[in-house]
Amino acid sequence: TPSRLIFSFLVRISFTFSIGYRHQQTTAKRVEEVEFDGPCMKTEVPGPRSKILAQQLEAIQSVVQVNFFCDYEESKGNYLVDVDGNRMLDVYTQIASIPIGYNHPALTKVMTDPKNMGTFVNRPALGMMPPEQFSEKLVNGLMVAPKGFSRVQTMACGSCSNENAYKAIFIWYRGQQFLSLVFSFFFQVPGCPDLTLLSFMGGFHGRTLGCLATTHTKAIQKLDVPSFDWPIAPFPQLRYPLGQFERENAQEEARCLEEVEDLIVKWNQKGRHVAGVVIEPIQAEGGDNHASFDFYRKLRGITKKHGCAFLVDEVQTGGGSTGKFWAHEHWGLDDPADIVSFSKKMLTGGYYQKNSFQPDKPFRIFNTWLGDHTKNLLLTEVIKVIKTENLLDQAKRSGKVILEGLYNLQDKYPHLLSRARGIGTFCAIDVKDEDTRNNLILKARNKGVVLGGCGTQSIRFRPALVFTEHHAHLFLDIFNDAIAELK
């Protein structure tokens, strides 16, 4: 309609001027205080030096997934510098794993403190011979626990965190019934029961065998690898804008919850009991798929009703990017989850667990290192920085700028962009198809912004917690330029 066209035109005009104006207002302060004044591109990415290094690496390792080689000594704050001297605004942060930017002074101070030398030189087997300060550092760093948790099990990465959390669930579940050590030697029930975990289509929980059985994103990740036959439930496919499809989305979530309960009942009846349900607060790798907070509250109720453990995988969503330290805190659960796994922005892996999920025998949850104590030292400082600089509030403010900008961009380019979504800085947008998405990521990178894809056609935005409104405006300016070239 004419009124719609006029409104769309005014939105585009407002978007163009507001970004430029606010960007100019904040630039001087940010440059003087903290870091680089913006991207600086000298070559295409990957550049000549990156290509030479890729050829060298190819002789001993696969390089098909390598984007470019980095100069981490020169990188700073929100800016990643590559080996060709290209300085890029990083809105992907090593697959969402850099909490407070590159080379933060608080972390370099920890690394250069002489009293930490022994910790960095010697890597202890934490399960058997932990260092003197181990308990203190766990309390100071890792014990930013979600409500309802006072126990933590450290691990090294997201996959091994979930893999061992699965084991803890199975051990707990059998403890609710009975356990036979004798039969376990013959790999048959009751010592080795045929238990299952329920997961969701579009979920990603890691690449080890157990985690792969609950991962349902890209076929290539599972090709040629044996897997467990476990139940898989549909995840809600919401329609956007959410405000226009409230009834349809509520029906879709109800359908998925009904299927979850039906699967649990059916698998229990055939003797392959569902010991637990694993889910992400936002399906990141699967395409930044969201569900309502009410969906998760009702899912928790179903797990309680049927005696299943409830595992929330916060490997990518944890650490503050949603505006709360843990994304599931937005749900308002009356009864906390049973286990919450973490990694990435937490610098180390692990999971929080309720007391009842702690095995009563040694070595049931174990490996040589059980994480890396040096990361606990660094995490202690990360937590201090997050608190003293109010970075959770910063994520809310910056996220608001990002999401409003994405809404405006999809109005400006409706033939290319759709389904802008997010909470805090944990945002995403869909591009019309996979090839266009990949092309847009490359164009943005060559203009000085590092982005990452997810799902079949989405771009995900994963900045560090020190990403301010200034950086958000700068990103939107460059992203707009890259999109304009696609026309």
Helix 2-33 to helix 469-486 angle, to the nearest 10 degrees?
A: 130
Rounded-to-integer distance, Cα 483 and Cα 439, Å: 10
Instruction: Tell me if residue 187 is catalytic.
Output: no
Residue of 84, 313, 338, 372 marked catalytic = 313
Q: Is 322 an active-site residue?
A: no
* Residues 268 and 195 sit within 8 Å (Cβ to Cβ): no
How far apart CA 146 and CA 327 sit, in angstroms, is 10
C-alpha 477: how far from chain center: 25
Cβ burial of 106 (10 Å; 0-12, 13-18, 19+) is middle
Tokens read off for 407: 């809404």
Q: Judge whether 68 counts as a catalytic residue.
A: no
Distance CA 464, CA 455 (A): 21
Task: Give the CA angle between residues 169, 314, 206 to the nearest 5°.
Answer: 70
- Radius of gyration (C-alpha) of the chain in whole angstroms: 23
**CB proximity list for 57: less than 8 A, separation 6 or greater:** 63, 66
* Annotation says 204 is catalytic: yes
Assess contact for 191 and 180: CB atoms under 8 A: yes
Return d(Cα 278, Cα 296) in angstroms, integer.
11
How far is it, in rounded angstroms, from Cα 388 to Cα 210? 39
Q: Which of 76, 137, 324, 344 is catalytic?
A: 344
Catalytic residue, candidates 170, 204, 426, 475: 204
CA neighbor of 474 nearest in space, from 87, 70, 95? 87
Q: Which of 262, 304, 368, 393 is catalytic?
A: 368
Instruction: List Cα–Cα distances, 145 to 223, 315, 343, 349, 433, in angstroms.
Output: 36, 14, 13, 13, 39
State CA 45 to chain mean position distance: 25
The catalytic residues are: 204, 313, 344, 368
